[in-house]
Amino acid sequence: MAIVSTLGMTAPALAADDFSGHDKLKAHSEEFRKRVVEVTEGVYTAIGYSASNVTLIQAEGGSIIVDTSANPVDAKAIVEAFGDRMAHPVRAIIYTHNHPDHTGGATIFAGDDKPEIYSHKLLVTAKPDTGRGRRDGGDAFGTALPDDQFINAGTQLEYGRVTPHTREGFLPPTQTLDGEEESLAIAGVPLQLILTPGEADENISVWLPDREVLIAGDVFLKSFPNIAPLRGLPTRPADKWVASLDKLIALNAEHVVPGHMSTLAGVEEVKDALTAYRDGIKFVYDKTMEGISKGKTPDELVQEVKLPARLAQHPYLQEYYGTVAWAVRGIYSQNAGWFGGNPTHIFPLTDRERAEKVVALAGGKEKMLEGAEASLSAGEFQWAAEQADYILVMEPQNSEATKAKVRALRGLGQRQMNATARNYYLTVARSLEKGLQASDSK
Ligand SMILES: [Zn+2]
């Protein structure tokens, strides 16, 4: 036992009695409270009715809509919430980007009005997210979690729970922006469409110079950005993201409407938040690239690259959706490939070979299981999960190891501030537990 514990001497990421992350994530749900906000005269944003925000711009002889929510059901609720403020005809719809939670309700806003549909040209060719097959039911959005286990999905409250994202209400663009930016007037409203890649390559931000309103899409959210998501997507380009934020900072906006969560007002507040967001991404990108050039491994960089206090404490860089650690790993692999530089890792042992040898060193499966139990009691949930995995690689049906893993994943999930990690831990725990129950009842 002592040997096993010594092997696990790295400090657990989260102390067993520390639920502050959980509490912060819970408080973050306030961002998704249902309401229509008057951003400034003639500009209204519906927050919390769907996964993403929908903005109404009052125009000459009608309305302009920026983003359309996740599906026709949500879109109908938003039309109702806008009420008389949304005059017909709807003259134009603008998609900030391709994601289905922003493009799924267009038919409802359009009705019979036949509006022009604007987007960047890249939206037309954008490939839908591939995602990864759901190993053991893992789901970063928590779609299948029961209500008492679900808190939120980081940028949204209800993904897939009440109203799934569908392409049912999508209308294809009729007007596409080709280059970096374009100034135009739609229904008497001067606006600028600015290509601002980050979370999506085709993301455009909408700038209303007369009203000093910036509708940013998902290039700016109230969380550390999800540069390298858990759910199986290519890493988003951090350097381009920084350049996009430079463009947005230069606008000196008075109001910002992000793709999700609360709007922000005040030139100084806006500048502070956009600058912190840019600086946070830039810091992680620069430090990771510097580490790569010095031959550091991804694991070393995850330990070393930490935001300085000013940024770490900033409300727009809390790790509800993305994390610094995953960004480091994503930026590393995107720029330096999969190999971290240690020759041991060129052709490593298979998981099974390693498990057999480590379990033998530990004194056999029973000892390893005792070790996992001891780790659970000590609140070392990560090490407990790894110990259980050694056994499960050898014996996937081992019910004691599965039970230990379920407890370990719950221990990790319940303490997480990151919504996508929490959701992933808890959905896998649930699916493993269901598997146990199914085999018990045979
Ligand atoms: Zn979004």
Residue 100 Cα to ligand 1 midpoint, Å, equals 8
Question: Rounded to the nearest whole angstrom, what is the distance from the C-alpha of residue 311 to the centroid of ligand 1?
Answer: 23
What does the pLDDT read at residue 16?
77
Domains and CATH numbers, the chain: 32-122+136-336 (3.60.15.30), 349-440 (1.25.40.880)
Compute the average pLDDT of residues 376-402: 97
Among residues of the chain, what percentage have pLDDT more than 90?
A: 85
pLDDT for res 267: 98
Ligand 1 centroid to Cα of residue 227, in Å, is 13
Q: Residue 65 pLDDT more than 80? A: yes
Question: Could you tell me the pLDDT band of residue 13, with boundaries at 50, 70 and 90?
Answer: low
Tell me how far apart the alpha carbons of residues 54 and 118 are, in angstroms, rounded to a whole number: 15
- Residue 330 CA to residue 337 CA, distance in Å, equals 10
Distance 74 CA to ligand 1 centre (A): 15
Q: Is the pLDDT of residue 160 over 60?
A: no
Closest CA to 121 of 219, 183, 216, 195: 195
* Nearest-angstrom CA–CA distance, 227 and 329: 10
Q: Give the number of other CB atoms < 10 A from CB of residue 290.
A: 13
Find the 66 Cα to ligand 1 centroid distance in Å. 13
Confirm if 67 and 259 have CB atoms less than 8 A apart.
yes
Binned at pLDDT 50, 70 and 90, residue 104 comes out as: very high
Give the tens place of pLDDT for each residue, 246-287: 999 999 999 999 999 999 999 999 999 999 999 999 999 999
Q: How far is the CA of 101 from the centre of ligand 1 (A)?
A: 6
Beta-strand relationship, 43-47 and 54-59: antiparallel
pLDDT band, residue 2 (cuts 50/70/90): very low
Query: In the predicted model, is pLDDT for residue 12 greater than 50?
Result: no
The 10s digit of each residue's pLDDT in 264-275 is 999 999 999 999
Using the mean position of ligand 1's atoms as its centre, give its distance from the Cα of residue 197 in Å.
13
Q: How many whole angstroms from 198 Cα to the centroid of ligand 1?
A: 11
- Cα distances (Å, whole numbers) of residue 158 to 69, 197, 284, 408, 424: 12, 25, 30, 26, 15
Residue 57 Cα, ligand 1 centroid: separation in angstroms?
19
Q: Note the pLDDT of residue 82.
A: 98
Output the CA 52–ligand 1 centroid distance in Å. Answer: 6
Of residues 39 and 6, the one with the higher pLDDT is 39
Distance 45 CA to ligand 1 centre (A): 14
Q: Which two tokens stand for residue 342?
A: 């240690």
Distance from residue 105's CA to the centre of ligand 1 (Å): 14
Distance in Å, CA 374 to ligand 1 centroid: 42
Report how far ligand 1's centroid is from the alpha carbon of 437 (Å). Answer: 37
Distance 260 CA to ligand 1 centre (A): 6
Kindly give the distance from the C-alpha atom of residue 200 to the centroid of ligand 1, in angstroms, as a whole number: 9
Mean pLDDT score across all residues of the chain: 93
Distance from residue 259's CA to the centre of ligand 1 (Å)? 6
Question: According to DSSP H, which parts of 294-350 are helical?
Answer: 298-304, 309-312, 324-336
Q: Which residue has the tokens 């390693």?
A: 354
pLDDT at 29: 92
Q: Using 50, 70 and 90 to split pLDDT, how confident is the model at 4?
A: very low
Q: What tens digit of pLDDT does each residue of 352-361 get?
A: 999 999 999 9
Q: What is the pLDDT of residue 442?
A: 64
Whether 8 has a pLDDT exceeding 80, the answer reads no
And the tokens for 308? 């300085």
- Please report how the helices 399-414 and 365-377 are oriented relative to each other, as an axis angle in degrees rounded to 10: 20
Banded model confidence at residue 15, pLDDT cuts 50, 70, 90 = confident
Question: Residue 331 above 90 pLDDT?
Answer: yes
Q: Where are the alpha helices (DSSP H) in 37-165?
A: 72-82, 100-103, 106-110, 121-125
Centroid of ligand 1 to alpha carbon of 389 (angstroms): 34
* pLDDT for the residue 158: 66
For residue 325, how far is its CA from the centre of ligand 1 (angstroms)?
Answer: 22
Q: Find the 295 Cα to ligand 1 centroid distance in Å.
A: 35
| CA dist., res. 258 & res. 338, Å (int) | 33
Give the tens place of pLDDT for each residue, 110-145. Answer: 999 999 999 999 999 887 777 777 788 888 988 889
Rounded to the nearest angstrom, the distance between the alpha carbon of 166 and the centre of ligand 1 is: 14
pLDDT higher than 70, residue 163: no
Mean pLDDT for 162-190 is: 90
User: Looking at residues 66-84, what average pLDDT do you find?
Assistant: 96
Q: Compute, in angstroms, the gap from residue 29 CA to the centroid of ligand 1.
A: 16
- The edge-to-edge listing of strands for the beta sheet with 54-59 is 35-40, 43-47, 54-59, 62-66, 90-94, 116-120, 175-177
The separation between CA 89 and the C-alpha centre of its own chain, rounded to angstroms, equals 35
Mean local confidence (pLDDT), 175-188: 96
CA distance 372 to 352: 18
Q: Is the pLDDT of residue 162 over 70?
A: no
